[in-house]
Every structure is written in C-alpha cells, then in structure tokens.
Amino acid sequence: MRNKTTYACQACGHQSARWLGRCPGCGEWNTLLEERAEKPAKSVRGISGSGPVPVTDVIITQEERYSTGLTELDRVLGGGLVPGSLVLVGGDPGIGKSTLLLQAAAALAARIGKVLYVSGEESAQQIKMRAERIGALQGELLLMAETDMSLVEKVIKESKPRAVILDSIQTVYYPEVSSAPGSVSQVRECTGILMRIAKGTGIPVFVVGHVTKEGTLAGPRVLEHMVDTVLYFEGERHQAHRILRTVKNRFGSTNELGIFEMRGQGLTEVINPSELFMNQKPEAVAGSAIIPSLEGSRPLLVEIQALVCPTGFGTPRRMTSGIDYNRVALIMAVLERRVGLRLSTHDAYVSAVGGVKLDEPAADLAVALAIASSFKEKPLQNNLVLVGEVGLTGEIRPVSGMDKRLHEAAKLGFKHCIGPAREQQMQKMGIIEYIGVQSIQEAVEAAIGR
C-alpha cells in the first residue's frame, strides 16, 4: 500500500495535503517539505501514573537545585538546575554552546555524580580533545556519539545518569518517524521523548538547538513551548565576551544575563561585567554617555556612543547597533521638537558598546544625551551616568531599581547621576550626587549646557 505524504512547514509545523509556496500558518516562503505520513507511534506511558487530583491535595516538595559549577549559568537558570527540567540552549554556530555545556557537564559530574553527554555532531574522541583543552576530564562524565533517539532513550534508562546533555536536537532521529533528522516531525517527537524522560524520572536535560540565519531557533515553534527554559548564547565573533540570555524560564526570571569570556582554555565567568564594558571608555569625548542598565537582578554599566553629522543626501541615514531602531527614531523626534536640535538634516549612528543589547526604556535618557552631545560637539561632564525613560512630550519618567543602578555606578567611581525628578529621594541616600530633571530640555542643560 502506498504511503500517504504530507507537506509540513519547517518554521511553524503547519501541515498541508499539497505543496504550497507560502505557508498558510506563518506566512513564510518555501518552508514546506514533503514528509511521509505514517501511523502514529505506539502509545507511551504518560508523565504521571495517576489520575486527576484536587489542587488542594497536591503535595509540594522543595527540591534542592543543582549547582552547575558556573555561577553565571546558575544565575540565568534562576539559581541552579531544577531536577526534571528541560533546558534548551540556542546560539550561532561556533559561539561556544558545546564548550559551555561540556564545562557544565564536568562540574555537575564532580558535584552530583554520573552525567551523560550525547553528541550527534562529534565523535567521542573529538569531545575528549575539547575536554582536555578546557580541563573538563571527569570519570563520572559519560560520552556517547549517537543519533538514534531510541538508543539514547535505552541508555538513559539503563545507566540512570543524574543529568543528560544532548547536542543537538536537530541531529537525532526517532526510527518510527520516517522523515529526516531536523524536520518538524522528528524535532517534535524527539523533544517529546526527552520531556517524558525528564518529567518521569526527575533527570534534568540540556538540549542544544540550532538557529536560523535570522537568529531564531530552527524548527517548529512548538519546540520552545515544550521545554521549561530557553537560553540564547550570544556574542560577536570578533569579541571575546559572550552573553547568555534567558528568553523563557518556568523556574525563574526571564531578564537575567550571564557574562562569559572565551579564552583558549574555554569559557571563564566575568565577575564584574560593568568593568569589562567600561575599561576602554574614552574621556571627554562628545557623543558618549553611560547608562546603569538593569538586566534582571544584575546592574550593568554600558556605554552608549552616538555620531551625528550633516547628511550628504536628501534623506538622512539612521543606523543602530544594540538599541532598537524605532526607539532611537522616536528619541530623535523628541529632541528636535522639544529641545530644538535640527536633527532632520543629519545622519545619526547610535551603538551600545561591547555587543550588548539594550531594550529597557531606562536607556532613553542616555541615548538622547549621547545624540545631543555629538550634535553640539560638547562632551558630557565626567563621572556622570544617565537613567530615565523619555516620553513623547519630553518628560522624564521614573524607572525601577534605581538604588541598584546607583550603587553599581558608585562602585565604579561615578559621582553624578541625572535622572527623573520623582526619584529625588535618591539624593538622601548619599550614594552619589543625584540631579533630578523633569524634562529632556532640563537634562540637556544640566549635562551639556545651553
């Protein structure tokens, strides 16, 4: 009997009886691939062996989190690795995902016992070479080079490790699903198996996921919905530091950042990231401003640089790096309307130094004054930080976590802060001199002058 075929979208998982150039589900072009439709796999025992119970009768047990041995990784996980959790780690090729997880695997093996590291991309010899280079040799760390998910499942049940790492989900396949590894059906089925293992046995599982050229996780969106935690490992190829960012976390905050530095011996944790980003800050240069950003519970001082110059074309050019383009355009419109800066005839280039991505409104004031400083060709006063949200009417709105921001700024030697007038009580704390302003016009006059 001839097997029936379907066409599945590799972006969203939508299935169609015939091939279409554009997916009806997500609107992406040329993402439908042919897959053979077969009978569903044999039923698998569910996660819970019991029926429904009243919520008042559920007993909560406080399970101790596992420390991965990497403080920065523990931070983004919400304080450590939760038993039975399924963690997805994504990032560009060569950014250091395998190195990070191999270091974490060795540290976990030394702390809690047997850890299984499964690779579908490298042989055991290649993994050992990396382990020797980064000092991750542990007798309790088990290596397995395999792409057959049924064999991986069997080994996990037999060896009973304390933690499992799979690198990567796009390289493994389940034999009862006929489509190729990395397809929607295979990713969904293999992730489902890992989820049942994690929830049914309490073994925490790390899964590495590939990313597309747009920087999003490859495969169906259901992959991110099935896991408990999604981490993105980011960084510029030409820079040594890496940023581990939480996108989803059922057991902690989604705003945490972990900072690492790539060296010949592997990844090392950056204890004071603010100092790392500020060690090459120029002195008394127009167009430079400092923002005490707050990523989750971590204050982080970041330099924002702006370059404003007369345009040579009819339409001025705008470019941003690490800062939302539309937000910069909005701030420039406020500066032109409320402060009187003729920015419509000038090109503007704004960047967050060090490859950091700032998406919080508290960076508005620093962006605005960096642009104003470059336009007026006047540097901001020394030892000054700026924090505040800029509204469309030019008002400076308060932001959260002001005490943490000022403590971090004072620790690095900054003595002045310009921020919202509503936070004037910060002056009484005596951390640093606090200058409260109500409008963007006042902030420009206080930092640059008329």
- Confirm if 398 and 365 have CB atoms less than 8 A apart: no
DSSP SS3 for 195: helix
Residue 124's identity, in one-letter code, is: A
In DSSP notation, 287-302 reads TEEEEEEEETTEEEEE
Strand, helix or coil for residue 149: helix
* DSSP calls for 100-137: HHHHHHHHHHHHHS-EEEEESSS-HHHHHHHHHHHT--
Name the one residue in this structure whose structure tokens are 């950042």.
257
Rounded to an integer, what is the distance from CA 376 to the centroid of its chain?
Answer: 36
Per the annotation, does 91 bind a ligand?
A: yes
Partnered with residue 244 across adjacent β-strands are 233, 258
The C-alpha atoms of residue 395 and residue 389 are separated, in whole angstroms, by 8
Is 43 known as a binding-site position?
A: no
Q: Is 98 annotated as a binding residue?
A: yes
**Surface-to-core class of residue 51, CB atoms within 10 Å of its CB (0-12 exposed, 13-18 middle, 19+ buried):** exposed
User: Which one, of 269, 271, 275, 268, lies nearest residue 290 by Cα?
Assistant: 275
Contact indicator for 448, 376 with CB cutoff of 8 Å: yes
In one-letter notation, the amino acid at residue 316 is P
Query: Does 92 appear as a known binding residue?
Result: yes
96 is in an annotated binding site: yes
Q: Which residues, 6+ apart, have CB-to-CB distance to 362 below 8 Å?
A: 291, 293, 294, 387, 388, 389, 399, 405
User: Contact 268/242 with Cβ under 8 angstroms?
Assistant: no
Q: What burial class does residue 48 get, using C-beta atoms within 10 Å of its C-beta: 0-12 exposed, 13-18 middle, 19+ buried?
A: exposed
How buried is residue 279: exposed, middle or buried, by Cβ count under 10 Å (0-12/13-18/19+)?
exposed
| DSSP-derived pairing of the beta strands 115-119 and 163-167 | parallel
- Is the separation of the CB atoms in 432 and 406 below 8 Å? yes
CA distance 128 to 183: 29
Q: Rounded distance, CA 141 to CA 152, Å?
A: 15
Main-chain phi, psi angles of 304, to 5 degrees:
-110, 125
Feature table: binding site: 91-98
Feature table: binding site for ATP: 91-98
